[in-house]
Structure 1
Amino acid sequence: MPPLPYARRLLQAATCPALLIASAPAAAEPIPDQIRDMIMSANPGERGTVGNVAKRAAPESAKEISALISQLNDEDKAENEAQLALQGFFDGWTGEGSIGGTLSTGNTDQEGLSASLGLDKRSLNWEHNLDLSFDYLATNGEITRERIYAGYISRFDLSGPMYFSFGLLSFERDRFSGLEYRFTESLGLGYRLRDSADFSWTIEGGPALRQTSFTDQDDENRLDLLGRTEVRWKPASNITLSESAGVVWSTGNSSLYSKSAATAKLVDNLSARVSFDVLHETEPPADREKTDTITRASVVYAF
């Protein structure tokens, strides 16, 4: 019979490999073919949701599923950047046009029209936004609203997607609020608080020059301060909520605005939108209201 210490060493040598095998983590399972096909066919914006469903269906393949989604996202990003690098200025624009109307007869005859056009482009370092809008309203044959707005914003990334500078040019005409015309030019800095497919939030600010021609008082040329923010949220794949708000602060008249909208996709590129605008002047021309509101119901076509 072997001595006790010798027997103990033999027992340890026999059980050590078994202990190592038992304590080693289980090898990850390959992704089942059906789940892999589902992930591969998903749109980029749907991969996160599809991936979560896939992990619940095949928890033993969770690591491989995460790795596959990361690989696909990296490939899409590289392909998108390569395409953007080859674009000219007139390439890659997307946009939407909307139109809405009002018609009532009887004790009060009212006719109204609202139309807008928005164009967007995003390249490797630049982002461009162009917005045009027109609002018209006549009551009993008398024009009570006729507002025109045109605005252009360009942004340049300074050190990655989170920081950028911006330039703004805008034109307004609203004679019923006392504005024959008003031009605004601004340069400044901004910050992207969030920038994802489902939620984005930016804030911007800087000095602004304004040249205003009033309908019934002297013209003004001023150096003011501009601040603005934009929020876009998609709580569902067919619903988009947006908010754009800003202020041009001045020692004289300051201007504030808020544009809230809810857009529901109907079919393909066609959507329905309800929006509510608030326009406020702290010191408007004489006999003019400080606050105007515009409520719209529009049909939107994206292209």
Structure 2
Amino acid sequence: MLTDFVIQFFSEQPRRERAVFGLLTGKQTISILYAALIHQQLQWLHLYPSLSKEAFSAAITTLKVQRMLRETETGLILTEKGQHLKQAAVTQLPFPTHYQPWMNLPVFAPRFFLGVQVLSEASYANRAYQPISVNWATQQVVKQWYQQVDHRAAVITLSSLFQRLPTELADTLAANMIGHDYAGQLMPATLEAHFERLDALAALVQQLANTRSMWTALWGGPRDFVSRPAQQTLAQARAGMALPTIANRSHRKQSTINEHLLLAAIMGETLPIEHLVPLKIHRALDRVTQIYDHQALLAAIPGSTFFQIRLFQILSFQGRWPRVTT
């Protein structure tokens, strides 16, 4: 089953297995995020954070041995045999349709199911039970939430949220709940069941993001993938501060400042391009027709830097590169 999942991240375009693993487990290096962007897979960031390196590597090895994947100098590509398996895998193991990385589901899931359990047991005045999450931080968040909400209103609100979910998703969530004299499954037994639960949780979070109910407080809000230091760097750059000055004031390397801005660009933030890319280089980039090979671009545009080229590539791929109009 894991091979059916893994093969869906490969195509006829070379893809490095390390970049795929980093994407799925939520590793946010610029190289991993950029690779996900150009392969149109950024929406699957942090999709499977519990995936082990050993299991992933074993799946890759199996696909190579079965000649589903072939290794090239720049990464793994699908063979003709692998293309057929991928087509079948898409049907056999569909990805969650409601999932978005900002939903922060790995954090929300244990809070939600523990919150349901606490409310259920409290309704029967039962204090002698084993909490389904032993994580201290999760327990503290749920405890604080429980002390602040009206318990009856919380149950009524959750019922209302469930009624607005598609029936199959509501049933999936209910089957995963644990409460007083009700023991659903603590962990999904298969990868397919795991993604079904993830899809149901994602659909619930979509409602929480739009309704601002008391359960929204338990969720905690969307995850911001642009770190606070990166946000500070972006704000300073927008204010016209030179990048070396930003680096000196923040006691960071210039390369770190560059990574902050590239991260912001990948995540859709607006950058002051006229401040970051000199006009001569900007005009030269406007004439570029091939955007993927950064080494060729560096060689073709004298005086350009890797940062400027990568920024151009990101924004061009997103359709956001601003051409010079004068």
TM-score normalized by the length of structure 2: 0.17
- More helix per residue: 1 or 2? 2
Larger Rg: 1
- More strand per residue: 1 or 2? 1
TM-score normalized by the length of structure 1: 0.18
| More RCO (CA 8 Å, sep 6+) | 2
